[in-house]
Amino acid sequence: MRTDTHSAEGITATRLVNARDITIKCYLEPWGEEFEMPPGAIFRVVARGPQGDGLEVTIADEQITVWGWPGSVVRLFHDGVELGAGEWERTPVPPMPPLEEASAASERLARSS
């Protein structure tokens, strides 16, 4: 008997609006992509990946950063056109260790330097 080990996938979408009167940066992580977001621009973020987690959006003075979750693939659109499309296929976000493990690994690395 064959068993499907894949978890259910979900799709989520959200809009990012630059309400400032200056151009800001929009970063798509963990792919390291950077896009300029002009004043008044609306970007649409569409993500597909395993259910049970979601996007993380951080906002700073002149930037917005969108993080995908483990197993997800994120796409970014402006005026109906995908940004970064055609240049390369984004790979799914790799699994991440629990925060406690990552912090301990960072501390060990800092001590060994």
Report pLDDT digits (tens) over 38-58: 999 999 999 999 998 899 999
> Does any domain span residue 48?
yes
> Does any domain span residue 50?
yes
Tell me, what's the pLDDT at 102?
A: 55
What is the rounded average pLDDT for all residues in the chain?
86
Within 8 A by CB and 6+ apart from 35, the residues are 25, 26, 27, 28, 43, 76, 78, 83, 84
> Does any domain span residue 4?
no
What residue numbers bound the domain in which 75 lies?
9-112
Q: Which has more pLDDT, 47 or 107?
A: 47
Tell me, what's the pLDDT at 104?
A: 66
> Does any domain span residue 56?
yes
Q: How many domains does the chain have?
A: 1
Tell me, what's the pLDDT at 41?
A: 98
Q: Which has more pLDDT, 106 or 29?
A: 29
Cα–Cα distance for residue pair 31/92, rounded to 1 Å = 9
